[in-house]
């Protein structure tokens, strides 16, 4: 059984007002399980739903492509062998990093960013278990990049360093949660109909 209070305390202990504003643990369908304090719960529920929708959109690209013929066989095979593991969204006012902790469990970090330069475009990076960038659809309204840390073409090394620190903290906290879940034997059960929309 998941001790949401203990996980919430761990998440709260690892937050601050600038680099790691908010942490939360959700299922891929947006069910909020634990979160850092203090927080506005109504805003957090909205953000958790948005995060789940973004995750589902990127996770379903491989299977949707196989159904509609948009992907060739090689890409479809890649999606099966290397499922979505990390999704990074760089926006004007925040970095959001989502990482799969277990099959049906996601750790999400909403982190602050330094002021962006004029003309900054939102970037989304989807990575597989092996750390490689997953292929994406063209023309879906956002920019996918191979490595968000190397792709700071707005020239801001500060923003790249902030993202690198956030990713390091995400990886470390995810490793702690995975180790604790293995030690306690916790496994998030499969929930049927896991899509939000």
CATH topology of domain 4-184: Beta-Lactamase (3.30.450)
pLDDT at 119 over 90: no
User: Which has more pLDDT, 135 or 24?
Assistant: 24
Domain-wise residue ranges, the chain: 4-184
Joined tokens for residue 60: 């379903």
What span, in angstroms and rounded, lies between the C-alpha atoms of 114 and 31? 30
pLDDT digits (tens, 9 = 90+) for 158-188: 889 999 999 999 999 999 999 999 999 999 9
pLDDT at 195 over 80: no
What span, in angstroms and rounded, lies between the C-alpha atoms of 168 and 155? 21
Burial class (CB in 10 A: 0-12, 13-18, 19+), 73: exposed
Least confident of 20-34, 61-75, 104-118, 178-192: 61-75
pLDDT digits (tens, 9 = 90+) for 48-81: 999 999 999 998 875 544 444 454 555 455 556 6
Joined tokens for residue 99: 């990482």
Joined tokens for residue 30: 């947006």
- In this predicted structure, what is the pLDDT of residue 63? 52
CA geometry: angle at 109 spanning 193 and 196, to 5°? 15
């Amino acid at each position: 059984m998941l001790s949401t209070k203990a996980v919430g305390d761990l998440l709260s202990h690892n937050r601050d007002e600038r680099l790691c504003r908010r942490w939360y643990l959700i299922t891929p369908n947006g069910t909020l399980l634990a979160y850092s304090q203090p927080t506005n719960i109504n805003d957090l529920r909205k953000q958790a739903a948005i995060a789940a929708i973004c995750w589902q959109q990127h996770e379903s690209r491989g299977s949707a492509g196989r159904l509609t013929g948009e992907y060739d066989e090689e890409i479809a095979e890649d999606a099966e062998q290397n499922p979505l593991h990390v999704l990074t969204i760089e926006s004007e006012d925040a970095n959001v990093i989502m990482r799969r902790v277990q099959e049906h469990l996601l750790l999400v970090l909403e982190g602050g960013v330094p002021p962006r330069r004029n003309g900054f475009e939102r970037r989304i990076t989807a990575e597989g278990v092996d750390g490689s960038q997953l292929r994406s659809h063209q023309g879906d309204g956002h920019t996918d990049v191979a490595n968000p840390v190397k792709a700071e073409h707005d020239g801001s090394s500060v923003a790249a360093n902030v993202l690198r620190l956030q990713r390091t903290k995400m990886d470390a906290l995810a490793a702690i949660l995975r180790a604790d879940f293995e030690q306690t034997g916790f496994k998030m059960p499969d929930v049927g109909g896991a899509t939000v929309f």
